[in-house]
Structure 1
Amino acid sequence: MSADASRDVDVAVVGAGITGLALTHALAERGVPSVALEATDEAGGVIDSKPLDDGLVAERGPNRIRLTEGVERLVDAAGLRDDLLVADDDLPLYVYAGGRLREVPFDLSTLVRTDLLPWHAKLRLLAEPIADDVRSDESVGHAVRRLVGETTYRNLVEPIFGGTYGSDPDRMPVEHALPALRRLRAEHGSLLPPLFRRLRGAGETPPPVSLPGGLQRLPTALADRYDDRVRLGTPATGIERDGDRYVVSTPDGRVTADDVVLTVPAPAAADLLDGVAPTSAAALGELTYNPLAIVTMYSDARREGFGYQVRRTESLRTLGVSWHHSLFGRTGQYTAFLGGMADGRIVEMDPEDVGEIAAEEFEVVMDAAAHVRDVAQMTDALPAYDESWAALDRVSLPDGLTLATNYTARVGVPGRVREAERVADDLA
């Protein structure tokens, strides 16, 4: 924006991450005048890619995206359909447990043969339908233990689910962290029917995708397409009520809008809402995030698969490793994730020391040396979905203000795109 670049629009979108850009696209398609305000000079938010030498890419945020219908529409809008790198969704995923990699069962034959779950744990799954219903006030950890037993929880659910969010499932209320658990139980009376439908190949998930040069090419291309609606380097500094409308202040001008949609992290949203919705702002300020370190490495290891998660009882600080080598043809690239709720100090360490830990632990698991290419450390990387999420019960915004975020709905790019489309429908 220039110094006199005040705007009058129907919708002001705060943030040009993937949610804000998906919303911008959806509003444009519905003919709704809007402007998106992004504080930084780059679009993308948590999608942050850094191309390296030799075709490697440091993905400092999401490492891949599921090609759902909503994501597919965005890819087409960005003109990137022909550039998509599509991974084989049948590749195995592993858990490092008991000193070796063990395959995660995604089909019946793998369930039978995998040594990740001993036979007593596999037989324990048959008792799941007679367990009590899942309660919204219990933790994911407690619910899963009741449903499938301690061994399956420790060997499978805790490293996969807890490792993905960097959280402790025992501190993640079902209501906020995994509401689908209650829904599936309520619809089927058991988790086994939807499980076995998947084992028979029904309802297959969309494939994981990426882009040459990194995932950030998607938000960058969307921001370029809608350069008349997206203002980079233009932070929103305040929101005020002006009769039935809102005024969003920026260093370069004022945006007047009927509706304001905030797509930014909770601390930033709390600051902006303090003057118009102080109770909600205070509640958002209570939400906690988990720290994360992402280490991009090169190795001569040549394994095929999605990668691995690490069982929490192992003596490693690594949460998991994604194998870009086999997923997207980035020869020799592996990305390690460290930190989370139980290891917050990892982001306070010297980056070289973090890289050294990642490389040493990679060699322990993969029996191959790794060379660190990039280290990114983020204090507030992942919504914790812990007990602090109860504060959302106190969030009630005035008409015309909307939160479209990964802490009020689902995390993950497909979920962000779905919410953006839903919000656009409501506003249109």
Structure 2
Amino acid sequence: MSAPSHTTSYYAASANDQTIRSPLEGEVFADVCVVGAGFTGISTALHLAEKGFNVVVVEASRIGFGASGRNGGQIVHSYSRDIDFIEQNYGKKAGEQLGSMAFEGGKIIRRLVEQYDIQCDLKPGGIFAACNKKQMKELEEKKSLWESHGHHQLELLSADSIQDHIGTDRYEGGLLDHSGGHFHPLNLVLGEAAAFESLGGVIYEASPVTRIEEGIKAKVHSAKGCVVADFVVVAGNAYMTGLIPEVEQKAMPCGTQVITTEPLPESLQKELLPGDHCVEDCNYLLDYYRLSGDGRLIYGGGVTYGAREPDKIESLVVPKMLKTFPQLKNVKVNYAWTGNFLLTLMRLPQFGRVGHNVYYAQGYSGHGVTSTHLAGQVLSDAIQGQAERFDAFASLPQYPFPGGRALRVPYTAMGAAYYSLRDKLGI
């Protein structure tokens, strides 16, 4: 049987660590077994190892195989639904609790990169770009909202001033978050995994978990081995199938598409993104883009529901890129790939327990880079006995999609089409 491989992405082609870890064999004992070696799993494992726990990570494929190694690589704060939505729908206390954590994930990323000298092309600054006046007004409200929760590194950009940062006349204005940023996501998770291993942690790859046997000591089974642990953290997200059905039915895998150009001349890089910031627009089905460490434009956009892989990724994304940057019409695309994220009905992360010692965190709804790192801190605290912040997330209702699994894809696609039309009309 051949070793599992990453998708054919730019990130996989430029990964710093090509090491393949051994699969799980025999019986292994640990304080905690983490299922899944993406950002949630590795962040949790690393935070626990820093606290002195004996942790084993079991991964079905490769470290960062899923969304963690395929995403846009942008530090974007808060959640897919912002703090005001949380307060309006779940009460002032929930808004305050989740609001107090909304800007922590980015700080965790920067702390890990600095402490463990992770080489992942981390660069500062991120821009939310408004495509119409309605979105610009929403950005003004976002600035006020975030500042009311103590986040003050924000700068409004007019239609003229945003062109000093993005070489296009497509936008009505924007919001520059100086504490945002971007990086090579696969190299980040690989660097975090190496940090975890440096603290004595063990990672098994090519070891799909077949079942979790609950008990005073939980048993995590793979085809050829078993981890016996006091606690289990399930962190498979969109790539977990059949392991905990009651958790899986609460969310839906969705795909997003990404392309990467050939390396661009330095003059063209400066023309496109003079400040080397990352960008995402404010549409429901948003575009996002940035420059890589070696001067390529990484551009993503579009969503496919139910994790369906489109036949021609370039045909979906290139027109979006050329709408923003017509000057790239003769530039070659070197890489194109898709990756799945996990969408929840309320577009908020789902944290919870199954039994007394099996924890899970999932469903970041396209906002996972910072939230997964926060999840690692929160889960590790809960396992250590400090569960207040975990319970703040776990107390939020977790609804299944209307119509069950059979109808969640068409219903969600219909909703997305509605919001996409509103984006286009600016209403």
Same fold at TM > 0.5: yes
Check 1:22–1:336 CA distance in 2 against 1; reply closer, same or farther (3 A cut): same
How far 1:192 moved relative to its partner? 8.1
CA shift for structure 1 position 373: 1.1
Give the CA deviation at 1:12. 1.1
1 CA distance for matches of 2:366 and 2:294? Answer: 29
Residue 235 of structure 2 corresponds to residue 235 of structure 1: no
Say if 1:237 and 1:251, in contact at 8 Å, map to a contact too: yes
| SS of structure 1 residue aligned to 2:317 | helix
Q: How far apart are 1:304 and its partner, in Å?
A: 2.0
Post-superposition CA distance 1:250-287 (Å, at most 9, x none): 12211111111111116626x223xxxxxxx3353242
Mapped partners of 1:74, 1:285: distance in 2: 33
Taking structure 2 as the reference length, the TM-score comes to 0.59
User: Shift of the alpha carbon at 1:64?
Assistant: 3.0
Q: Name the % identity.
A: 17
Q: Which amino acid aligns with 1:304?
A: L
Quick check: 1:385 aligned with 2:344?
yes
Structure 2 distance, partners of 1:364, 1:376, is 20
CA distance in 1, matches of 2:151, 2:249: 42
Could you say what secondary structure the match of 2:260 adopts? strand
Provide closer, same or farther for how the CA distance between residues 310 and 233 of structure 1 changes in structure 2, counting only shifts above 3 A.
Answer: same
* Aligned partner of 2:113 among 53, 75, 79: 75
Unaligned runs of 5+ residues in structure 2 are 1-21, 77-104, 157-176, 385-427
TM-score (norm 1): 0.59
Structure 1 unmatched ranges of 5 or more: 49-59, 98-115, 118-151, 161-179, 274-280
CA RMSD of aligned residues (A): 4.2
Gap change, CA 1:261 and 1:84, over 3 Å in 2: closer
Matched with 2:164 is none
What does 1:108-147 align with in structure 2 at a 5 Å threshold? 116-117=132-133
CA deviations 1:181-212 (Å, max 9, x no partner) are: 9xx9xxx9x788569955589xx753414259
Aligned residues between the structures:
306
Residue 32 (structure 2) pairs with residue 11 (structure 1)? yes
Relative to 1, partners in 2 of residues 1:69 and 1:233: Cα closer, same or farther, differing over 3 Å? same
**CA radius of gyration, larger in:** 1
Q: Residues of 1 paired with 2:287 and 2:211: CA distance?
A: 39
Question: Does structure 2 retain, via aligned residues, the 8 Å contact 1:47–1:62?
Answer: no
SS state at 2:67 partner: coil
What residue number does 2:287 align with? 320
1:401 aligns with 2:358: yes
Instruction: Within 5 Å, give how 1:18-97 maps onto structure 2.
Output: 18-43=39-64, 45-48=66-69, 60-65=70-75, 68-76=106-114, 78-80=116-118, 83=119, 85-89=121-125, 93-95=128-130, 97=131
- Following TM superposition, by how much is the alpha carbon of 1:15 offset from its aligned partner in structure 2, in angstroms? 0.9
2:378 is matched with: 422
What amino acid maps onto 1:240 in structure 2? E
The secondary structure found in structure 1 opposite 2:194 is: helix
Give the counterpart letter for 1:62 in structure 2: G
Please tell me whether residue 260 in structure 1 is matched to residue 281 in structure 2: no
Letter in 2 for 1:399: H
Instruction: Report what 1:278 is aligned to.
Output: none
Identify if the C-alpha distance between structure 1 residues 355 and 346 changes in structure 2 by more than 3 Å, giving closer, same or farther.
farther
**SS class of match (2:380):** helix
**Is the 2:341–2:363 Cα contact (8 Å) retained in structure 1?**
no
Cα distance, 1:233 vs structure 2 = 1.7
Match of 1:249 among 196, 215, 221: 221
